[in-house]
Amino acid sequence: MSDPRLDTTRVIRATTGPEKTAKSWLTEAAKRMLMNNLDPDVAEHPQSLVVYGGIGRAARDWACFDKIVEVLDRLEDDQTLLVQSGKPVGVFPTHPDAPRVLIANSNLVPAWANWEHFNELDKKGLMMYGQMTAGSWIYIGSQGIVQGTYETFVAMAKQHFNGNASGKWILTGGLGGMGGAQPLAGTMAGFHMIACEVDESRIDFRLRTGYVDVKATSLDQALALLEQAKASGKPTSIGLLANAADVFAELVQRNIIPDVVTDQTSAHDPLNGYLPQGWSMSEAAERRLQSPEQVVKAAKQSMAVQVQATLDMQSKGAVAVDYGNNIRQMAQDEGVQNAFDYPGFVPAYIRPLFCEGVGPFRWVALSGDPDDIYKTDQKVKELIPDNPQLHHWLDMAREKIHFQGLPARICWIGLKDRARIALAFNEMVKSGELKAPIVIGRDHLDSGSVASPNRETEAMLDGSDAVSDWPLLNALLNTAGGASWVSLHHGGGVGMGYSQHSGVVIVADGTEAAAKRLGRVLWNDPGTGVMRHADAGYDIAKNCAREQGLDLPMLSTKE
Amino acid sequence: MSDPRLDTTRVIRATTGPEKTAKSWLTEAAKRMLMNNLDPDVAEHPQSLVVYGGIGRAARDWACFDKIVEVLDRLEDDQTLLVQSGKPVGVFPTHPDAPRVLIANSNLVPAWANWEHFNELDKKGLMMYGQMTAGSWIYIGSQGIVQGTYETFVAMAKQHFNGNASGKWILTGGLGGMGGAQPLAGTMAGFHMIACEVDESRIDFRLRTGYVDVKATSLDQALALLEQAKASGKPTSIGLLANAADVFAELVQRNIIPDVVTDQTSAHDPLNGYLPQGWSMSEAAERRLQSPEQVVKAAKQSMAVQVQATLDMQSKGAVAVDYGNNIRQMAQDEGVQNAFDYPGFVPAYIRPLFCEGVGPFRWVALSGDPDDIYKTDQKVKELIPDNPQLHHWLDMAREKIHFQGLPARICWIGLKDRARIALAFNEMVKSGELKAPIVIGRDHLDSGSVASPNRETEAMLDGSDAVSDWPLLNALLNTAGGASWVSLHHGGGVGMGYSQHSGVVIVADGTEAAAKRLGRVLWNDPGTGVMRHADAGYDIAKNCAREQGLDLPMLSTKE
Ligand SMILES: NC(=O)c1ccc[n+]([C@@H]2O[C@H](COP(=O)([O-])OP(=O)(O)OC[C@H]3O[C@@H](n4cnc5c(N)ncnc54)[C@H](O)[C@@H]3O)[C@@H](O)[C@H]2O)c1
Ligand SMILES: NC(=O)c1ccc[n+]([C@@H]2O[C@H](COP(=O)([O-])OP(=O)(O)OC[C@H]3O[C@@H](n4cnc5c(N)ncnc54)[C@H](O)[C@@H]3O)[C@@H](O)[C@H]2O)c1
């Protein structure tokens, strides 16, 4: 039997322009965004339906993909489609202010929430790994992560190097769907970088799209290039074709210590996401089918080597930070007891932003026309005139970031701005200034939408890291508010068992009804983030709640 | 510091009658149902906010209870209150067709979803155990479970004793909030019963309310009473003051084998729910505070004894069934390797009902007037004329079941009936035939609302027992449809780590708007159950979906 997930004849690209075949822009948008997730310029392995992050898929299999498209084309504006781990399982009566699609991906009852059980169900065709924005149809390629990474690197430079990264270098691993954003974000923030990657095609892809400056095929070559870059003074990124565990350990051996050390291999998925030391890629591909347990074991052992080297570098003065791929947990499982001695990037650099609901707000032009995005860039600058860092980002993004698939933009803004900006976009659609509706969403990695104790909710002030009531409430509230599609996922980013999170997407189609929904949903969604952090006791969040007039019943009595 | 969860001065009873203080009947209903959950005639330990099932609570603490009531009184009909593990954390703008309350209780990221971590957070005041209908404000006392148990015993009699239970007897443990329904349901179905219970006040309570016929204080006395009952031919239930583990083992010893053996101690919660052999209740209460690990260990060891005895009885011809308290898992943890050799009651007796969306539909008269319920009983008989078993239930319920708190009724009906019945009730409210609105809800233990591999989803046809996308979709869809309040819980029934489930409640206030919502929600809610079972491959469900015209996009292509 042929694999229902692989179809090498398929090349999917979203329809563009102002004509729709679906019955409303809400469903047309869902369809285009699903397709856009599988655009060959966007997805990592589109013909296997894999969007990013190891095996994060957009639909269960090709039959499900086709059926979802078919249903979205026939769905009425008082009906809602249910998607269960990438499969369209039901259509039910709702009403115009309800979401058109509700999605639950990869969720398992906790005692069974591990990769072994997931893989078993996945193999049987009963599940799909949704990652964060793969299964919820709002992945926009590497740009999505560039700004997050850029914000993190800028915060790092501020915190550790007096705001000046010049002459400093970052060592990292992984140039995949998300990790590939590191070199561009790093040089934007003023650093040099060596990024280890075992898959040469990934390096070449990043060279072509301008994310990586130069390729090296040996550590010596990479170090020589680094010296040249330092001498020139121009921030330079080097893609090094090598196994990260080998390189990290070798550098410790040679006592060459980077200024910053991190990693973005897909360590969260030891079966599919991390190449063990000494293995070739094709060898790994074969063994994944034949003896998956062995692969997992070998991968975790190599991760332990890499984490140990990271700790050694930290003890010699490097700034070490975990970039949210759960590699510390894997290494700890393999006996590196102090794996968590270096922090995650969220408590270190991102949490203060989350306290004000600031996170990865993003939007996409359904017209397919880059001009629509440039106009919205301009609008954002007008409406937020007092944020030079944001203006700098928008300028650099326009200059350096190639659009992948539908033109899109991301910028990190919070409770006080999201609804305002969205309503302005809706006006631009209404007036005809933009050629077609705008889709507005975010990553699941956001202020109020995720419980992930090794990443987004690591080391919460009150110890509530593992409480996942919050993302569930976020999804329920976004459904109640009238988002266009809402999703609840498990295991994104850090892997099975380690996270629960929700996604939201809403369409600005220029109507009055959309304006009402946008006003609610894009207030409520960051609002739940401020609420969650205020409840945990963060002063920034409590102040933000008071300033913005958020209605948190227990807040005043708590002080 | 005093315990914020204990207030011995508080006696809560729901307001009744046609006047409301809240701004709509939707919020008035939520308030009354919250209060009703804590009525001393309904709740097990109302002054500690404990409703049933070990430590299942209605609100985090008394300050949260008061604040919820206050917010429900001020909530506008375009606002929604968020409740996180019993605490009112936020009020957000929504719209009239959105739920007024959204609840998430006891949810933990899987890798931390165990009793140790929960208890730690619970102690810190960060969480609350919601059980199923405790934290979602739709517990209606023992009646709720009487019919479920009755349906199970009737199915048992059919399957094993040619439909005739006379002269047969059931051995069980636990006469708590739910377990206390066993003796009444058992005699209604024609069985005799010996039910072991360590807490004399629980036996006395059941004697007073007519659920248990007679009390025994020793095994010999109980066996003598059983012989008398058999001789008389009248189905009789005996509450035996004794530890179930002791009694079960002793009966095996004496080679006295019941016809049916089961258990409803709160084994799912080894710290609070099960008394170890040889301990007094007060001793246990003390040790729970001082050395919780010891209590858990001792309780699980006694459970192992009880399960081993159950297996021995099974091998000697008894029908053994697990009644959904996770005691098999606990015994297996303690080394009883074949603990799962006897089935759960769901795959054995309930699943065929779930395939048609049949489950514990229930409703409550906000007037407080029993007549309102009797009128609805009559309406149900009129609208479902061809179901003698249902008519028999309604007659017996009226005769034998004392109302606890607000008058309420339960009957198991499915996809084809729920919306129809609800709309008829709404008409009766509109016409003034009923004195006040009716609240309609169900247990979380229902066809489409729960993933619980040791209970409701044990041994699914396709092996999808642990997939919890389904209850999440159920909650999202009920939110989208416009239920009055919707909840997502973890750990109900079988304990932390072993289940995820959702609740729904909707108010029939006699308005046209309510009729629209009722029509949607009470079609969709059982519809997700039929969908889930059809997807798993059950023919009954597939046929039901086709007959009822459920829109399941992948169904036809699958055949
Ligand atoms: N914001 C965040 O928290 C955040 C951001 C980005 C990525 N991440 C996490 O980072 C990880 C990477 O994400 P992605 O989308 O780029 O995944 P991906 O699977 O697309 O890319 C991973 C890359 O690592 C490479 N790789 C695997 N093993 C290697 C090894 N031993 N040495 C060198 N390279 C190796 C692979 O060839 C691949 O290109 C994921 O775990 C993701 O969840 C988190
Ligand atoms: N439909 C279902 O699946 C279903 C239905 C009913 C109950 N249950 C499960 O059954 C259990 C009981 O529920 P409940 O609400 O009645 O709980 P509960 O805590 O109110 O009652 C448990 C009772 O067991 C008694 N008990 C504890 N240890 C004992 C022992 N060793 N011997 C004899 N008696 C003992 C306690 O004194 C208490 O009265 C729970 O685990 C619940 O989830 C499941």
CATH 3.40.50.10730 domain position(s) in chain A: 143-345
d(CA A398, CA A379): 14
Instruction: Give the DSSP letter string of A136-183.
Output: TT--BTBHHHHHHHHHHHHHHHHHHSTT--TT-EEEEE--STTGGGHH
- Per-residue burial over A500-529, b if 16 or more Cβ lie within 10 Å, else e, is bbbbbbbbbbbbeebbbbbbbbbbbbbbbb
- Chain A residue with minimal CA distance to B122? A464
Start-to-end CA distance of chain B, whole Å, equals: 64
Q: Are the C-beta atoms of residues A13 and A46 closer than 8 Å to each other?
A: no
Show the tokens assigned to A504: 């939201």
Q: Please work out whether the CB of residue B142 comes within 6 Å of at least one atom of ligand 2.
A: no
Show the tokens assigned to B453: 């591999």
Question: Minimal CA–CA distance to A354: which of A417, A418, A415, A442?
Answer: A415
**Which residues of B are less than 8 Å from A91 in CB distance?**
551-553
Q: Residue B469 in 3-state DSSP?
A: helix
Q: Please work out whether the CB of residue A175 comes within 6 Å of at least one atom of ligand 1.
A: yes
Q: Residue A134 in 3-state DSSP?
A: coil
Going by alpha carbons, the residue nearest to atom 7 of ligand 1 is A178
How many other CB atoms are there within 10 angstroms of residue A292's CB atom? 17
Average pLDDT over residues B168-196: 95
Q: Please work out whether the CB of residue B197 comes within 6 Å of at least one atom of ligand 2.
A: yes
Contacts A–B by Cβ distance under 8 A = 291
What residues contact B492, with CB distance under 8 A and at least 6 apart? B53, B56, B106, B130, B131, B132, B444, B499, B501
Q: What is the pLDDT of residue B454?
A: 87
Q: Residue B393 in 3-state DSSP?
A: helix
d(CA A25, CA A95): 15
d(CA B15, CA B12): 9
What percent of chain B lies above the pLDDT cut of 70?
99
Using 50, 70 and 90 to split pLDDT, how confident is the model at B130?
Answer: very high
What letter does residue B348 receive in the DSSP assignment? I
Ligand 1 atom with the smallest distance to the CA of A131 is: 43
- The CA-CA-CA angle for residues A278, A334, A198, to 5°, reads 30
What residues contact B513, with CB distance under 8 A and at least 6 apart? B96, B97
Q: Which helix (H) or strand (E) holds B215?
A: strand B214-216
**Which residues of B are less than 8 Å from A130 in CB distance?**
none
Q: Please work out whether the CB of residue B366 comes within 6 Å of at least one atom of ligand 2.
A: no
Going by alpha carbons, the residue nearest to atom 27 of ligand 1 is A274
* Residue B497 to residue A527, Cβ atoms within 8 A: no
Residue A322 Cα, ligand 1 centroid: separation in angstroms? 12
In whole angstroms, how far apart are CA B142 and each of A351, A456, B52, B364? Answer: 47, 42, 10, 14
CATH 3.40.1770.10 domain position(s) in chain A: 350-558
Q: What is the pLDDT of residue A512?
A: 98
Pocket probe for ligand 2: among B240, B266, B323, the residue whose CB has the most ligand atoms within 8 Å is B266
What letter does residue B179 receive in the DSSP assignment? G
Residue A498 Cα, ligand 1 centroid: separation in angstroms? 17
Show the tokens assigned to A146: 């560039």
In B366-469, beta strands by DSSP E: 408-413, 438-442, 450-451
In this predicted complex, what is the ipTM? 0.89
CATH 3.40.1770.10 domain position(s) in chain B: 356-456+502-558
Question: Minimal CA–CA distance to A38: which of A59, A60, A8?
Answer: A59
Whether B411 is catalytic is: yes
- Chain B residue with minimal CA distance to A552? B90
d(CA B510, CA A364): 44
What residues does A507 pair with on adjacent strands? A439
In B17-126, beta strands by DSSP E: 50-52, 56-57, 79-84, 87-93, 101-105
Question: Minimal CA–CA distance to B454: which of B529, B344, B350, B354?
Answer: B344
d(CA A450, CA A557): 26
**Which residues of A are less than 8 Å from B527 in CB distance?**
90, 92
- Rounded to a whole number of angstroms, the distance from the CA of A547 to the nearest CA of chain B is 15
Q: How much is the CA Rg of chain A, to the nearest whole Å? A: 22
Question: Minimal CA–CA distance to A474: which of B552, B356, B80?
Answer: B80
Handedness of CA B385, B387, B389, B390 (dihedral sign): negative
Q: Are the C-beta atoms of residues A480 and A528 closer than 8 Å to each other?
A: no
Strands A169-173 and A500-508: unpaired
Ligand 2 atom with the smallest distance to the CA of B493 is: 43
The answer to whether A501 is a known ligand-binding residue is no
> Over the stretch B260-302, which tens digit does the pLDDT of each residue have?
999 999 999 999 999 999 999 999 999 999 999 999 999 999 9
Per-residue pLDDT of chain A (559 residues; tens, 9 = 90+): 589 999 999 999 999 999 999 999 999 999 999 999 999 999 999 999 999 988 999 999 999 999 999 999 999 999 999 999 999 999 999 999 999 999 999 999 999 999 999 999 999 999 999 999 999 999 998 888 898 999 899 889 988 999 899 999 999 999 998 899 999 999 999 999 999 999 999 999 999 988 999 999 999 999 999 999 999 999 999 999 999 999 999 999 999 999 999 999 999 999 999 999 999 999 999 999 999 999 999 999 999 999 999 999 999 999 999 998 999 999 999 999 999 999 999 998 999 999 999 999 999 999 999 999 999 999 999 999 998 778 988 998 998 888 999 999 999 999 999 999 999 999 999 999 999 999 999 999 999 999 999 889 999 999 999 999 999 999 999 999 999 999 999 999 889 999 999 999 999 999 999 999 999 999 999 999 999 999 999 999 999 999 999 999 999 644 4
**Which residues of B are less than 8 Å from A452 in CB distance?**
109
Average pLDDT over residues B39-44: 94
Out of A64, A196, A355, A411, the active site residue is A411
Q: Which helix (H) or strand (E) holds A505?
A: strand A500-508
Question: Minimal CA–CA distance to B461: which of B387, B541, B553?
Answer: B541
Q: What is the pLDDT of residue A88?
A: 98
Q: How many helices (H) and strands (E) does chain B have?
A: 20, 17
The answer to whether B427 is a known ligand-binding residue is no
Residue A237: which region, alpha, beta or left (left: phi > 0; alpha: psi -120 to 50)? beta
Question: Minimal CA–CA distance to B187: which of B175, B200, B170, B204?
Answer: B170
Q: What is the pLDDT of residue A1?
A: 55
d(CA A119, CA B362): 39
Phi, psi at residue A410, to the nearest 5°? -130, 140
Q: Are the C-beta atoms of residues B182 and B193 closer than 8 Å to each other?
A: yes
Q: For A469, which of B104, B111, B524 is closest by C-beta distance? A: B104
Q: Are the C-beta atoms of residues B471 and B449 closer than 8 Å to each other?
A: yes
Show the tokens assigned to B74: 């001020």
Q: Residue A43 in 3-state DSSP?
A: coil
CATH number corresponding to B356-456+502-558: 3.40.1770.10
d(CA B444, CA B529): 12
Residue A456: which region, alpha, beta or left (left: phi > 0; alpha: psi -120 to 50)? alpha
Q: What is the pLDDT of residue B209?
A: 85
> Over the stretch B214-268, which tens digit does the pLDDT of each residue have?
999 999 999 999 999 999 999 999 999 999 999 999 999 999 999 999 999 999 9
Q: Please work out whether the CB of residue A176 comes within 6 Å of at least one atom of ligand 1.
A: yes
The answer to whether B405 is a known ligand-binding residue is no
Say how many CA atoms lie within 13 Å of A374 toward its Cβ.
7
Q: What is the pLDDT of residue A557?
A: 45
Which CATH architecture group holds B143-349?
Answer: 3-Layer(aba) Sandwich (3.40)
Q: Please work out whether the CB of residue B245 comes within 6 Å of at least one atom of ligand 2.
A: yes
Quick check: B559 pLDDT over 60? no
Q: What is the pLDDT of residue B1?
A: 55
Quick check: B390 pLDDT over 70? yes
What residues does B134 pair with on adjacent strands? none
d(CA A198, CA A184): 19
Q: Are the C-beta atoms of residues B541 and B353 closer than 8 Å to each other?
A: no
CATH number corresponding to A143-345: 3.40.50.10730
The answer to whether B45 is a known ligand-binding residue is no
Q: Are the C-beta atoms of residues A434 and A372 closer than 8 Å to each other?
A: yes
d(CA A97, CA B480): 8
Q: For B554, which of A88, A469, A499 is closest by C-beta distance? A: A88
- The CA-CA-CA angle for residues B158, B161, B164, to 5°, reads 75
Question: Minimal CA–CA distance to A441: which of A101, A45, A65, A78?
Answer: A101
Max CA-CA distance within chain B? 66
- Chain A residue with minimal CA distance to B484? A480
Show the tokens assigned to A187: 């040089």
**Which residues of A are less than 8 Å from B95 in CB distance?**
97, 481-482, 516, 520
> CATH top-level class for A350-558?
alpha beta
**Average pLDDT in chain B:** 96
> Over the stretch B480-517, which tens digit does the pLDDT of each residue have?
999 999 999 999 988 999 999 999 999 999 999 999 99
Q: Please work out whether the CB of residue A276 comes within 6 Å of at least one atom of ligand 1.
A: no
The answer to whether A508 is a known ligand-binding residue is no
> Over the stretch B59-101, which tens digit does the pLDDT of each residue have?
999 999 999 999 999 999 999 999 999 999 999 999 999 999 9
- Rounded to a whole number of angstroms, the distance from the CA of A437 to the nearest CA of chain B is 23
- Rounded to a whole number of angstroms, the distance from the CA of B359 to the nearest CA of chain A is 20
d(CA B402, CA B399): 8
Burial class for A73, CB neighbours closer than 10 Å (0-12, 13-18, 19+): middle
Q: Are the C-beta atoms of residues B144 and B53 closer than 8 Å to each other?
A: no
Q: Are the C-beta atoms of residues B544 and B531 closer than 8 Å to each other?
A: no
Max CA-CA distance within chain A? 66
